[in-house]
Structure 1
Amino acid sequence: MAATMHDLLTIMIERGASDLHITTGTPPQIRLHGKLTPLTQFERLTPQDTQRLAYSVLNEGQKQKFEEDNELDLSFGIQGLARFRCNVYRQRGAVAAAIRVIPIKIRSFDELGLPPVVEQLADRPKGLILVTGPTGSGKSTTLAAMVDKINNERTEHIMTIEDPIEFVHHHKKCLVNQREVFSDTHSFKNALKYILRQDPDVVLVGEMRDLETISAALTIAETGHLTLGTLHTNSCAQTINRVIDVFPT
């Protein structure tokens, strides 16, 4: 049975899986309760299958970029189903992809089981707030809840820079502009270079990866804006050390 991407994503949602993996030599696999499970109703995928499936969610510009770089981050939505974050890459010369579900509904602090202090942090008018943890720990989901609270309660301008855009925020009390790296700006560095000219009150930096991004985020916070960001660190001490270590001694 030949799989279509819509079939696979529908099964993924219906079974409550978090991730979908597409690679050659095996049927599509989903991550269910933390464990990978092959969808044995489908045949093992060939290189032609994996390219067909992955390319079905890419536009022409994304296909071109992937063929130049051999890897690509993107997000996309399917009406009535969900939003998804996707990483397309090559392995052994063939196309492969990992796709994660992004809930359409932004969950509240209570639904996420977050302590009250996290909600209180979202009330701060300025400063730097970092949400840290390993991959899959809920950094983006936590930030989405914080941005949604601000959007519901303040009359301000929220700017986000993400790679890719995961949760879509609509204009509520706030004006919300979301920029995706490569689609809307060349890089985090470029977007942050000009962001203060765009009259923001709140700035979300999807991932603080390097010296330029971290330095710019600190400058934005120092100039009286609320700045939100993420780091792949596992403790407060490690987070501070990571920020310090990117600066030359």
Structure 2
Amino acid sequence: MKQKIAVEAIADSLKKDGRVKSIYVKGSMGREEEDEFSDVDLYCLVEEHDLTSFLQDRLQHLEAYGKLLFHDDLFIIAPQIIAVYEDLLHVDLFTVTEKTFKQKDYFKVIYDPEGKLSPFERSQNLLLSDAEFNEFAGDTGWFLFQYLKAMRRGNDLWAAEMLQHTMRNFSSVLLQRYKPERAQLGYKSLETSLPEQLVGNVKKIMGLIGPFTHQQAASEILRLIEAERGWIRSEWKDEQGNRLLDTMLSTLEGIRK
């Protein structure tokens, strides 16, 4: 696959750069789950004192694979270049130091002559922390609240958008129950991680989220959350968050009836 060819070409270029101490991939390639449509999440580790100078030279390393159609320089979890090649391969090149290494997801080592990645190998996982689970559960109730306001206002487009946010957060809550070892993946992992009936329910909801059918979608979301409510309450100890979620469920249920 072109993903592997690209990683090999870019890595060969990076290995010649003395500032690069380690090279690894995360995402689907790090988990060895990639297919022909996968993006490449390529990481290189440099020393703190080399970071600024290295960032100026990333494009020449990326061009070792081919000509770029598009690129953008941004910072999300680390300095990153989003690169799209003329063959439409998408590569994200991240630059980290030992201090900024994110201990989430699995990684596959490409180059690590000094063993700098060894201390991080035991931390590989896709689990949600307690704080992350609390945030996803809390945002489920919060976006139902935002949906209620938009629906009452008659803003159908925004109401549909708020249900999208509700489901994005609740998908991680569902994964925490049924497949916690993949919960960090959220939506991406639903079809292969949830029981078949639940996948069907989620697909039905997603098909209904739109400006003309959002109230039907909301009804199905309520049914889905209510079915899991006992488990959520046992796992989620945020009293305020639970009150908000319960209030949204009862208020929207009243409107539905």
TM over 0.5: no
TM-score (norm 1): 0.30
TM-score (norm 2): 0.29
- Which structure: greater helix fraction? 2
- Which structure: greater strand fraction? 1
